[in-house]
Chains A and B, each alone.
Chain A
Amino acid sequence: MKTTIELTQNNSNVPLLSKNRWSINAYLFLLPSLAALIVFVFIPFFQTLERSLYLTDNMGKNALFIGLENYILLFKDPSFYNSLFVTLNYVAIVVVVGVLLGFTTALLCQKSFPGVKIFSTAYALPLAIASSGMALVFGVMLNQTTGILNRLLHTNINWIADPKYAIWSVGILTGWLNSGMNFLFFSSGLAGISENLYESASIDGANQFHKLIYITIPSLMPITFFVVVTNIINAFQSFGQIKLLTQGGPGESTNVIVHDIYRNAFMNYRYGYASAESVILFFIIMIFTYFMFRARKRGL
């Protein structure tokens, strides 16, 4: 009965079903995702914005409205400037190490050779590795007395307890963790470069180095931009490896923003202050995300 009605309706130019039926159905399908996002992303986000304007008690309740006082305090706090500086420093190390590793490994797997599949699987492997687990492994590797690094280099440096080296330790670790993802992005970029370009370059007498400088690198520019921005966003959000490897120390030399937020909120119970810091982090990341989306739109 129902189908016949629908069929006859379809023959005339009216929609299959009344608009109402469609809508309710559609909203029901959306409900699980939308509800979860509203409850666990949107509401907490606006609560964070709100909390950043309050002085909070130890239970995280908004006790006293203080307007922008938290932000003013933040921008007067040398520790916050140190966090920003450390974060920028750290992000730079992560991006350089991660992008170079990813690019080099992708380049090495551009041409087919026996065993290329095994190698490319290995290069993508860091993707699947937990940052916390790897931080523990690095901790053993960098140990002053028993660690392999000092033995290989014949040095006696405490890589984690020396402010000069600690930031490099966590930076290189995160760069390594990101290298698997970068390898994949660069590989898909390399796969998109037409073989004809290389062939005609060969005919013109270009050697491998010329091809790299004049064809490969320029062709990869858009994807490189995307990879760099993605890596910056990731690096800004690092927490686990820093918490486990250096606890933000020595001193505050590896106290990146997320770690500082964690310290302020969950160790000193300054929830309002930490929320203000979160809001600033959000704006920094939003700017980079905007660039990433723009890069995507340009057709990467």
Chain B
Amino acid sequence: MDNINVLEEKKMGIKKSPYYRKKSRGIILVILNIIMICIVLFPLFYAVSMSIRPEADLYNLDVGLFPRQITLKNYMDVFRISNIGRFIKNSFIVSTVIMLAQLISTSLAAFSFQFLKFKGKGIIFALIMATMMIPGEATIISQYLMVSGWGLQNTLTALFLPYLTSAMGVFLFKQAFETFPVELYESAKIDGCSDIKFFTYILLPVSRPTIAALSVTSFLGAWNMYMWPLLITGSEKYRTVQIGIAMLNAADAQSLLLMLAGVVVCMIPSLTIFLIARKNMINGLTAGAVKS
């Protein structure tokens, strides 16, 4: 009896709790978030803020976080002095090829695992999943010796060759296809629909979220990759953005700001893709980790 009374009182208390308390909590939350966003985004803000100031202001101790004069000269110069246009083109070609190749190869494999019957399915699937356990660094020496042994050093082909498929992609597509009713596939077969037609016209259109998720992650991964291009390409002609910008890194003020302008330019595509496809990317990332 007592307990119930206490409970009643508490409930009443909550109901009667003054409105301003809730409101002030919201304000505190916003303030904390504003502080946090300043910390998290500080490096990005700093890069932009530095890249739009004239080089004279780099050593000027009076000029702090915010540029006193705004100029786009560093951006003009980075395109004029370095080959950044070509680097972007190279990176774009390589990333697009990797993205398309991964989409095609992984979705085909996942289709086979989910809808077709064949000998050794379990073992082959386990093998593909096992490759996730092998870190890139454990194979990169051999990949380098193999690809350069074929005489492919300094070619665009060498840049995308080792990344034409991904075990994670097979896993994600298989998960997506599991939700597709097998009866529909069987009835399509009975109606004389071939596997490849079913795959292209029925299955892929309903797997759009997974396609988007994998596209974003594979494109960004390729765009941001560093170690492989560093090893396999030495000439200016086949340099990718990440390597090309790092090459601008020198001690004098002018190239410092040029380099930051280059970094900002190369972040623009990644950030744009991220902002457009944020939802899909998040689903793709957490699909493997979290049961929805």
Contacts and interface: CB of A to CB of B under 8 A. Distances in A.
Interface of A: 2-3, 6-7, 10, 16, 19, 22-23, 25-27, 29-30, 32-34, 36-37, 40-45, 47-48, 51, 60, 101, 104-105, 108-109, 111, 113-115, 119, 121-134, 136-141, 145-146, 148, 151, 176, 179, 181, 184-185, 188-189, 192, 202-205, 223, 226, 230, 233, 236-237, 239-240, 243-244, 258, 261-262, 265-266, 271, 274-275, 278-279, 281-282, 285-286, 289-290, 296, 299-300
A23 B33 CA distance: 56
Given A51-B141, A271-B141, A34 B124 contact: yes
Contacts of B41: 122, 125
Contacts of A300: 289-291
B43 A16 contact: no
A121 B195 contact: no
Interface stretch (B72-80, B81-89, B207-215, B262-270): B262-270
A130 B242 contact: yes
Interface string B1-31: 0000001001100100000000000100110
Interface residues of B, number: 102
A115 B30 contact: yes
A39 to B, nearest CB: 8
Given A111-B29, A113-B29, A130-B267, A281 B137 contact: yes
B61 to A, nearest CB: 8
B192 A130 contact: no
Contacts of A141: 43, 46
Given A37-B131, A185-B290, A132 B242 contact: yes
A47 B147 CA distance: 13
B103 to A, nearest CB: 11
16 contacts: A16-B186, A16-B189, A19-B117, A29-B112, A33-B106, A36-B164, A37-B131, A37-B165, A47-B142, A114-B30, A125-B40, A202-B14, A203-B10, A236-B135, A281-B135, A290-B133
Interface in B37-52: 37, 40-41, 43-44, 46-47, 50
A48 B161 contact: no
Contact of B36 (A108, A278, A286): A108
B97 interface: no
A23 B118 contact: yes
Contacts of B254: none
A122 B40 contact: yes
B161 to A, nearest CB: 7
Given A133-B267, A281-B135, A30 B189 contact: no
Given A2-B192, A122-B37, A130-B266, 19 more contacts: A3-B191, A23-B119, A25-B195, A30-B112, A37-B165, A42-B127, A114-B26, A128-B220, A129-B224, A132-B243, A140-B47, A148-B64, A151-B61, A185-B285, A185-B289, A192-B290, A236-B135, A240-B226, A282-B138
